[in-house]
């Protein structure tokens, strides 16, 4: 049986409420768990690909993920423009 990144996640089995804080200011406990997670990158990429709008994924809040998507999009546009 193939293991998925979720099987290796540091948050597996923990209270999901920790990862859906009332505000970004309350995200600290979830981010601490994510900081030591062996599959943090896979989690973040999944959240970005599926456009998760709630919760802490890959150690980032929705606000942080939106900023990262914007930076990546802008970098891709700059790269395309310089290649043309």
* Tokens encoding 81: 């423009």
Give the model's pLDDT for residue 20: 97
* CA dihedral for 53, 46, 68, 84, sign (positive or negative): negative
Query: For position 84, what pLDDT does the model report?
Result: 75
SS (H, E, C) 12-53: CCCCHHHHCCCCHHHCHHHHHHHHCCCCHHHHHHHHHHCCCC
Percent of the chain with pLDDT over 90: 92
Q: Tell me: the pLDDT tens digits for 3-19?
A: 699 999 999 999 999 99
Distance CA 7, CA 4 (A): 5
């Amino acid at each position: 049986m193939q293991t998925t990144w979720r099987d290796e996640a540091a948050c597996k089995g923990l209270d999901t409420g920790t990862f859906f804080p009332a505000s970004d200011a309350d995200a600290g406990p979830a981010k601490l768990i994510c900081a030591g997670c062996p599959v943090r990158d896979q989690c973040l990429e999944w959240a970005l690909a599926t456009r998760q709008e709630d919760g802490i994924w890959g150690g980032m809040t929705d606000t942080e993920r939106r900023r990262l998507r914007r930076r990546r999009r802008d970098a891709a546009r700059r790269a395309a423009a310089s290649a043309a």
